[in-house]
C-alpha cells in the first residue's frame, strides 16, 4: 500500500520520538524510564527544587549537540518529500518532541507542541529573558536569570502546565484544516494523539499511522507498523 501525498491538498504530520530515534536521540521512555525522573518533570518541582528539573531535562542536550552534524540524514523526510509537495498544497508538522531536530532541516511549517529542549528561559512569567540553542546542561545547578535573578528553566511544557494558547490554537487549526493526517513515531502517553486524531477525523481527513507498534484504542485508515525510516520510504511517495 502506497500513500500518494500529491493527491492531498492539506497535509498535517504529527511526530513523536520515534521520528528522530534513528539519529541517536533516545526516546522519552529510554531517558525517563525511572519514576524519580518522571516525577521531576513537573511545574511543582520546578518551583521547589529546580535543580531536579535540570538534572533530568539537561540530559537531552548532549544528545542533541552530538547529532547536530548528522541531521542532514533526516532530509529524506523533509527535503525529498517536502520540497516537491509544498508546491502542490500546504502542509504542517506538529511535533511532541523537545529534541529540536526539525528546525535543522528545510521543511514545512513547524509547531513544537511541548517547546524546545535546547532553549532556556526565565521562570518569572513577567521576565522576557531567553537563550536560544543553549547547550549548557546545568546538571547539579539551577542558574539564575541575569535580568531579574529568578531561576532559569528549560523552555518546555512540564507536567501540570498548560500548552501555550497560540501553540495549541495553531495545532488545532492544522488538524481541523487537513485532508490527510500522518502520525509518525508517537506513543500517545499523555493522550495527544487521540485528541488531535479525533479533530482531524471529525473533519473528514484520511488518517495514517507509521509507528513501531499500533496505538491502542485508535483506528487509523492505514497503519504501517515498523521502523519509521523504513515505513516512510516504503509507503509514502509524491
Residue-wise pLDDT tens digits, 138-189: 977 889 999 999 999 999 999 899 999 999 999 999 999 899 999 988 887 7
- Mean pLDDT, the chain, as a whole number? 82
Q: 190 falls in which pLDDT band (50, 70, 90)?
A: confident
Asked if the model's pLDDT at residue 105 lies above 50, the reply is no
Percent of the chain, pLDDT > 90? 36
> Alpha-carbon distance 177 to 215, whole Å?
23
> Alpha-carbon distance 67 to 62, whole Å?
9
Which residues fall within 8 angstroms of residue 217, CB to CB, at 6 or more apart? Answer: 194
Asked if the model's pLDDT at residue 104 lies above 50, the reply is no
Given the candidates 3.30.450.20, 2.102.10.10, 3.40.50.2000, 3.40.50.1220, the CATH classification of the domain at 3-237 is 3.40.50.1220
- Mean pLDDT score, 135-140: 84
Sign of CA dihedral 13, 26, 24, 138: positive
Asked if the model's pLDDT at residue 99 lies above 80, the reply is no
Identify the pLDDT of residue 103: 47
Which residues fall within 8 angstroms of residue 232, CB to CB, at 6 or more apart? Answer: 76, 77, 184, 210
Query: Is residue 114 flagged as an active site residue?
Result: yes
Identify the pLDDT of residue 74: 47
Identify the pLDDT of residue 231: 86
Asked if the model's pLDDT at residue 98 lies above 50, the reply is yes
Asked if the model's pLDDT at residue 222 lies above 90, the reply is yes
The answer to whether residues 181 and 94 touch, using CB atoms and an 8 Å cutoff, is no
Asked if the model's pLDDT at residue 76 lies above 50, the reply is no
Identify the pLDDT of residue 219: 92
Q: 101 falls in which pLDDT band (50, 70, 90)?
A: low
Q: Which three cell numbers stand for residue 210?
A: 507509521
Q: Which residues of 180-190 are buried (b: 16+ CB within 10 A; e: fewer)?
A: bbbbbbbbbee
**Which is more confidently placed, 41 or 119?**
119
State the SS3 of 76-135.
HHHHHHHHHHCCCCEEEEEECCCCCCHHHCCCCEEEECCEEEEEEEECCCCCCCEECCCC
Asked if the model's pLDDT at residue 128 lies above 60, the reply is yes
**Which is more confidently placed, 80 or 115?**
115
Q: Which three cell numbers stand for residue 51?
A: 535543580
- Mean pLDDT score, 201-215: 92
Identify the pLDDT of residue 50: 93
Q: Measured between alpha carbons, how far is residue 161 from residues 44, 55, 114 in Å?
A: 9, 19, 10
- Mean pLDDT score, 72-94: 56
Identify the pLDDT of residue 1: 87
4, 72, 114, 235: the active-site residue:
114
Amino acid at each position: 500500500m502506497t500513500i500518494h501525498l500529491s493527491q492531498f491538498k492539506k497535509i498535517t504530520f504529527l511526530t513523536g520520538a520515534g521520528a528522530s530515534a534513528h539519529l541517536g536521540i533516545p526516546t522519552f521512555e529510554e531517558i525517563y524510564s525511572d519514576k524519580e525522573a518522571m516525577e521531576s518533570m513537573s511545574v511543582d518541582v520546578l518551583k521547589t527544587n529546580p535543580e531536579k528539573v535540570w538534572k533530568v531535562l539537561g540530559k537531552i542536550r548532549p544528545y542533541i549537540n552530538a547529532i547536530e552534524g548528522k541531521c542532514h540524514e533526516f532530509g529524506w523526510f523533509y527535503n525529498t518529500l517536502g520540497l516537491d509537495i509544498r508546491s502542490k498544497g500546504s502542509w504542517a508538522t506538529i511535533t511532541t518532541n523537545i529534541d529540536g531536530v526539525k528546525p535543522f532541516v528545510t521543511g514545512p511549517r513547524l509547531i513544537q507542541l511541548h517547546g524546545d529542549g535546547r532553549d532556556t528561559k526565565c521562570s518569572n512569567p513577567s521576565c522576557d529573558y531567553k537563550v536560544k540553542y543553549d547547550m549548557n546542561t546545568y546538571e547539579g545547578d539551577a542558574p539564575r536569570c541575569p535580568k531579574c535573578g529568578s531561576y532559569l528553566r528549560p523552555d518546555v511544557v512540564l507536567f501540570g502546565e498548560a500548552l501555550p494558547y497560540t501553540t495549541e490554537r495553531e495545532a488545532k487549526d492544522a488538524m481541523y484544516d487537513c485532508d490527510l493526517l500522518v502520525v509518525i513515531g508517537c506513543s500517545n502517553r499523555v493522550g495527544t494523539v487521540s485528541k488531535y486524531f479525533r479533530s482531524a477525523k471529525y473533519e473528514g481527513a484520511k488518517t495514517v499511522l507509521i509507528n513501531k507498534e499500533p496505538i491502542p484504542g485508535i483506528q487509523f485508515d492505514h497503519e504501517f507498523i515498523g521502523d519509521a525510516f523504513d515505513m516512510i520510504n516504503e509507503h509514502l511517495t509524491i
